[in-house]
Chain A
């Protein structure tokens, strides 16, 4: 599959996400309004679904940055990061994305934004202190490839849409499991219903996020990143360093996990992964990516 096909596939997937979200929210709104016998709920649901879609397209990059607590990187302070991104954008012939830094010792990076002209790349301070310049080039080339292939649009839109469904599911589940202390008969039924809705919604949200990610896309970004630097060993060794570091990030969310180059929750091995963490698992195994990069 060529990059151009991948790009139009990404645009299709974005539409699928947007429509899927509309259908889910309106369906839930219809069900509730039918149950209550009040059509206002349905109108609110329709308005809300449409508004959220617009918000997802125009502002989700800002939401992602503020969720991750990212700050703009100054050229003097983060000279290596800044110039690496600048130089790679020259090689790729694309506008230089905005550059942000997250103050977090866990090494990670992501790209977001809706297109080349509104793109952002972001790295944690842990990543910057751990990698040398050629490894940093590898990681940033991977992120710039996500921008160039238009992966960031579908991935970022998914943050708001799927993230919303995931949060609602999470709230319902919590209410069902922990809110059962002093329930009267009516309340008990409502809590039970909420629980069931949560159990149904969570996999739907996960499905939406899976729509936005694909292992093939990560491999493709690795490969086109390597084409940009002509030095696949840089990214390979960066990936090994990143994955050997197993501390979860300070501020992490299932809604944004798929944006990052490596799982922000740390590896599930060792501790038992919860059901919720399990279905949201997003990243292909590092060994497979390193193998593909080094052509072994």
Chain B
């Protein structure tokens, strides 16, 4: 009789632990998904700011149409990109073209004095910071999830319910190691 109780007790503990572990996985996965949608929100905001910026610069720098085309093309490419790797590459391209846009605008003092341009530049820099911040939160969460999926005994629960590892963003930390400088 005592042995039966002990066995039942052990089973109860295991079931209880499995439930806790399962819920832990679910909340990690949901947090990662939420982080992904936060990144999308910020990325979309960036796409929305860019046409305004291009139009403002166009008003002053009329002879730089190739730069504008590059930015517009890179923006469309980034918006159409699917999958984390492809999206990452397209975003980097877009950042590159924006850099040359700001480099071009250096040559136009009137443009630099424009309040609207300064605001847009500031908002864009902030949006990029926010994308970085959201990616780092995502990476932190996914790191936790991936460790939990791999390590014993959590991997037993993960195996039964098919929780798998999620993809990490690359390069986010190397850019964050530098202090955020907002100068173009």
| Residues of A in contact with B (beta carbons under 8 Å apart) | 79, 83, 86-88, 90-93, 133-134, 137, 229-231, 233-234
Chain A residues with Cβ below 8 Å from B122 are 79
Chain B 154-180, CB-CB to A under 8 Å as 1, else 0, gives 000000000000000000010011011
B70 contacts the other chain (CB 8 A): no
Interface size range on B against A: 20 to 34
21 A-B interface contacts by CB (under 8 A):
A79-B126, A83-B130, A86-B130, A87-B130, A87-B132, A87-B133, A90-B38, A90-B130, A90-B134, A91-B133, A91-B134, A91-B137, A93-B140, A93-B141, A133-B181, A133-B182, A230-B173, A230-B177, A231-B179, A233-B179, A234-B179
Chain B residues with Cβ below 8 Å from A88 are 133
Chain A residues with Cβ below 8 Å from B31 are 93
CB closest chain-B residue, reference A132: B179
Give the total number of A-B pairs whose CB atoms are below 8 A apart: 44
- Known: A86-B130, A90-B130. Is A133-B180 also a contact (CB below 8 A)? yes
CB closest chain-B residue, reference A137: B180
Complex Cα–Cα for A92 and B129 (A): 14
CB closest chain-B residue, reference A76: B119
Complex Cα–Cα for A204 and B160 (A): 57
Q: Which among A83, A87, A137 has the greatest number of chain B C-beta atoms within 10 A?
A: A87
Complex Cα–Cα for A88 and B133 (A): 7
Chain A residues with Cβ below 8 Å from B132 are 87
Which residues of chain B in 87-145 are interfacial with respect to chain A, using CB atoms and an 8 Å cutoff? 122, 126, 129-130, 132-134, 136-137, 140-141
Chain B residues with Cβ below 8 Å from A83 are 126, 129-130
B43 smallest CB distance to A (angstroms): 13
Complex Cα–Cα for A282 and B78 (A): 52
Chain A residues with Cβ below 8 Å from B129 are 83, 87
A81 smallest CB distance to B (angstroms): 12
Complex Cα–Cα for A90 and B135 (A): 9
B35 contacts the other chain (CB 8 A): yes
B63 smallest CB distance to A (angstroms): 32
Let me know if B137 and A93 touch, CB within 8 A. yes
Let me know if B179 and A90 touch, CB within 8 A. no
CB closest chain-B residue, reference A229: B176
Tell me the interface secondary structure of chain B in the complex: helix
Chain A residues with Cβ below 8 Å from B38 are 90
Q: Which among B31, B38, B129 has the greatest number of chain A C-beta atoms within 10 A?
A: B129
Complex Cα–Cα for A229 and B173 (A): 10
Let me know if A134 and B133 touch, CB within 8 A. no
B183 smallest CB distance to A (angstroms): 11
Chain B residues with Cβ below 8 Å from A92 are 137
Complex Cα–Cα for A82 and B49 (A): 19
Let me know if A134 and B180 touch, CB within 8 A. yes
Complex Cα–Cα for A79 and B127 (A): 13
A268 smallest CB distance to B (angstroms): 33
- Known: A230-B177, A231-B177. Is A90-B133 also a contact (CB below 8 A)? yes
Complex Cα–Cα for A229 and B132 (A): 11
Let me know if A93 and B35 touch, CB within 8 A. yes
CB closest chain-B residue, reference A94: B137
Q: Which of B130, B134, B136, B179 contacts A133 (CB 8 A)?
A: B179
Q: Which among B31, B38, B140 has the greatest number of chain A C-beta atoms within 10 A?
A: B140
Chain A residues with Cβ below 8 Å from B130 are 83, 86-87, 90
Complex Cα–Cα for A231 and B179 (A): 7
B107 smallest CB distance to A (angstroms): 26
Chain B 30-48, CB-CB to A under 8 Å as 1, else 0, gives 0100010010000000000
Chain B residues with Cβ below 8 Å from A233 are 179
Let me know if A230 and B176 touch, CB within 8 A. yes
Let me know if B179 and A134 touch, CB within 8 A. yes
Complex Cα–Cα for A73 and B168 (A): 35
A88 smallest CB distance to B (angstroms): 7
Complex Cα–Cα for A218 and B130 (A): 27
CB closest chain-A residue, reference B35: A93
CB closest chain-A residue, reference B130: A87
Chain A residues with Cβ below 8 Å from B141 are 93
